[in-house]
Structure 1
Amino acid sequence: MKALVYEGVETLGFHEVPMAAAQAGEHLIRIHASGICGSDMHAYLGHDARRPAPLILGHEAAGVITGGPRDGQRVTINPLVNCSTCNACVSRHENLCPNRQIISMPPREGAFAQFVALPDRNLVLVPDDVPLEKAALTEPLAVSWHAVRLALEALSPAMDRRALVIGGGAIGLAAALALRAMGVDDVIVQEPNPVRRVFLAERCGQQTIDQFQGAVPLVVDAVGNAATRATASAVTAPGGVIAHVGLGEDAGGLDIRRMTLQEITFIGTYTYTVQDFQDTARAIFDGRLGPLDWSELRPLSDGATAFQDLRFGSVAAPKIILDPWA
C-alpha cells in the first residue's frame, strides 16, 4: 500500500510500505479521507518525542471496511484504542486509560495510508448521505466537543453564556461550533492571521477578532502557548472557566495569582471519551455542527507540500484532508 511516511524533521516521503494487517477483533479499513492534525505538525517539526521517525502519521480518518462481517460499511475512526478494563475505562473516562494507544504513535501506524487496522469498537457507522471527507472531521470536532462539554459543566449557571475561543484553526473553529450546538450563541474567535480571520468570517460565519479586550465568562484556549494562556488568564471573568485544549508549549503564561483571587477554574482537556466521540458523530450527521464545508482536499501524494504550506501559514482553510487514492 502507499503511505506518507514521516522520515525526520520536516521530511515526509510518499512510499510503498507493507500492507496493514488486522489482528483478532480488528477490521481493515480502506482510508478515503485523513486530516492533518496539529499533533501531526508537532511531530513533523520534531517536537514530539512520542512520534519518532520513521512513522506513518495521521489519526483523523474515515473509510470503508474491507473484508469480514462488516465488509463495505462506511465508518469514521476513533483512533484512541483503550484497554476497556481499567478503572478509567470502566468509569467511561476512556481517554485517560493508562494503557491507551493511538494510531500515528508506536506501536500503531497512522492513517496517512491507503489502509489501517482498528478494533471493531473504534468504528462508528457513517450514513450513506454523509461524505467521508466530512465524517473524517469527527475526531478533531470531538476534541473540542469534549472540551466545551467540560467547560460548560464547570461554569456556574448564574454566569452569562458568552465565550472566547483563542485560535482559529480546526480545533478552535470546532470549539466555536460546539459552543453554539450546546446553546452558547455569543462566541468570538481570536485569530491573529488576517487571511484565516477572513476565511472564518466569510466562509464559516464566525465572529472574529485579532486581539480580544474585555472580560468573558468562558475561554477555550485552542493554541496552548504561553502568550495565549496569558490572554486566557487575563480576560476570563471572575468565577469563569478556562478550557485548555492546545499543546503549543509546555509552560508559562498563566497568571496564577489572578486566577486564585478571582476563583477562575482551569480545565486541562485531552481528546474525548467514547461517548463524546459518538455524540460528535451524531451532531455531524444531523447537521447541528453546520455544513462543515471549510476543509481543503488534497492528494496524499502531495502531503509533503501540504505540511509545508501549513508550516508557513499559507493555508486559509482550518483543515487539510488528504485522499490516499487521488
Structure 2
Amino acid sequence: MKALVYEGVETFGVRDVLRPEVGQGHSLVRIEASGICGSDMHAYLGHDDRRPAPLILGHEAAGVIEGGARDGERVTINPLVSCGTCTACRTGRDNLCPDRMIISMPPREGAFAQYLAMQDDNLILVPDHVPLQKAALAEPLAVSWHSVRLGLVALDPGVSRTALVLGGGAIGLAASLALKAQGLNDVTIAEPNDARRLFLENQCDEVSVPAGTGQYGIVIDAVGYAATRAAASALAEPGGVIVHVGLGEDTGGLDIRRMTLQEVTFIGTYTYTPQDFRDTCAAIFDGSLGLLDWAEHRSLDDGPQAFADLRSGAVAAPKIILNPWA
C-alpha cells in the first residue's frame, strides 16, 4: 500500500509499505481522509521524541471497513488506545490512562496511508449523509469539545459568559464551534496570521481579532506558547477560567501572581474521553458544529509539500486533509 513516511527532520517520502495485519478485535479500514495535526508538525520539525523516524504519522482519519463482520461500514476513528482496566479507564477517563497511546506513536503506525488496522471499539459508524472528509475532523473537534466541556463546568456563574480563543487553527476554530454548540455564543478568535484571519472572517461565522484588549470569562489557549499563556493570564476576567490545550512550548508565560490574586482557574486538557468523542460525532452528524467546510483537501502524494507549506505559514485554511487514493 502507499503511505506517507516521516523519514527525518522536515523530510517525508511517499513509499510502498506492507499492508497492516488485522488482529482479533480489529478491522482493516481503507482510509479515505486523514488530517494533518499540530502534533504531526511537531514530529516533522524534530520536536517530538515520541515519534521517531521512520514512522507513518497521522491520527485524524475516516474511511471504510474492508472485510470481516463490519465490511462496508463507513467509520471515523478514535485514535486513542488505552488499557481498559486501570482506574482512569474504568471511570471513563481513558485519556488519563498511564498506558495510553495514540496511533502514529510506536509501535502503532498512523493513518497517512491507504489502510489502517484499528480496534473495533475505536470505530464510530458514520451516517451516509455525512462525507468522510468531514467525519475525519472528529478527532480535532473532540479535543476541543472536551476542553470546552471542562472549562464551562469550572466557569463561575458570576463571571461573564464570554470567550476568547487564542489561535485560529483547527483546534481553535473547533473550540469556538464547541463553545457555541454547548451554549456560549459570545466567542472571539484571536489569530495573528493575516491570511488565516481573513479566511476565518470570510468562511466562518466567528469573529477574528487580534488579542490584547478586553477581558473574558473563559480563555482557551489553543496554541500553547509562552506568549499565548501570558495573553491568557492578562485577558481572563477575575474569577475566570483559562483552558490550556496547545502544546507549542513547555514553559513560561503564566502570570501566577495575577491568577492567584484574581482567582483565575487554570485547566490543562488532553485529548478526550470516549464519551466526548461520541458526543462530538453526534454533533457532527446532526449539524450542531456547522458546515465544517473549512478544510483544504490534497492528495497523499502532495503530503511533503503540504507540510512544507504549513511550515512556511502559507496555508490559510485551519486544516489540510490528505486523500491516500487521489
Task: Give 3-state SS (helix, strand or coil) of 1:297's partner.
Answer: strand
CA distance in 2, matches of 1:258, 1:102: 36
Task: Give 3-state SS (helix, strand or coil) of 1:164's partner.
Answer: strand
Structure 2 residue aligned with 1:116: 116
Structure 2 residue aligned with 1:196: 196
Alignment of 1:130-145 (within 5 A): 130-145=130-145
Q: Are residues 1:272 and 2:266 paired?
A: no
Task: Give 3-state SS (helix, strand or coil) of 2:250's partner.
Answer: coil
Q: Are residues 1:54 and 2:44 paired?
A: no
CA distance in 2, matches of 1:91, 1:205: 37
CA RMSD across the alignment: 0.6
Task: Give 3-state SS (helix, strand or coil) of 2:183's partner.
Answer: coil
Alignment of 1:148-159 (within 5 A): 148-159=148-159
Structure 1 residue aligned with 2:251: 251
CA distance in 1, matches of 2:168, 2:89: 32
Structure 1 residue aligned with 2:315: 315
Counting matched residue pairs gives 326
Amino acid of the structure 1 residue aligned with 2:143: V
Pairwise CA distance, 1:184: 0.8
Amino acid of the structure 1 residue aligned with 2:162: R
TM (normalized to structure 1)?
Answer: 0.99
Alignment of 1:3-42 (within 5 A): 3-42=3-42
CA distance in 1, matches of 2:221, 2:4: 30
Amino acid of the structure 1 residue aligned with 2:318: P
Superposed CA offset, 1:126-182 (max 9, x none) = 000100000000000000000000000000122221000000000000000000001
**Contact persistence 2:166–2:211 (CA under 8 A):** no
Moved segments of 4+, more than 2 Å: none
Pairwise CA distance, 1:20: 1.0
Task: Give 3-state SS (helix, strand or coil) of 2:260's partner.
Answer: helix
Deviates more, 1:9-18 or 1:150-159: 150-159
Pairwise CA distance, 1:210: 1.7
CA distance in 2, matches of 1:101, 1:233: 31
**Contact persistence 2:211–2:231 (CA under 8 A):** no
Pairwise CA distance, 1:74: 0.2
CA distance in 2, matches of 1:174, 1:128: 23
Pairwise CA distance, 1:211: 2.4
CA distance in 2, matches of 1:312, 1:184: 34
Structure 1 residue aligned with 2:288: 288
Amino acid of the structure 1 residue aligned with 2:179: L
Superposed CA offset, 1:74-93 (max 9, x none) = 00000001111110000110
Amino acid of the structure 2 residue aligned with 1:175: A
TM (normalized to structure 2)?
Answer: 0.99
CA distance in 2, matches of 1:223, 1:317: 16
What is the aligned-residue identity percentage?
A: 70
Amino acid of the structure 2 residue aligned with 1:168: G
Deviates more, 1:135-144 or 1:22-31: 22-31
**Contact persistence 2:6–2:54 (CA under 8 A):** yes
Structure 1 residue aligned with 2:241: 241
Q: Are residues 1:100 and 2:97 paired?
A: no
Superposed CA offset, 1:112-137 (max 9, x none) = 00000111100000000100000000
Alignment of 1:135-214 (within 5 A): 135-214=135-214
Instruction: Structure 2 unaligned segments of length 5 or more: list them.
Output: none
Amino acid of the structure 2 residue aligned with 1:74: R
**Contact persistence 2:238–2:262 (CA under 8 A):** yes
Deviates more, 1:171-180 or 1:203-212: 203-212
Pairwise CA distance, 1:317: 0.5
Pairwise CA distance, 1:21: 1.2
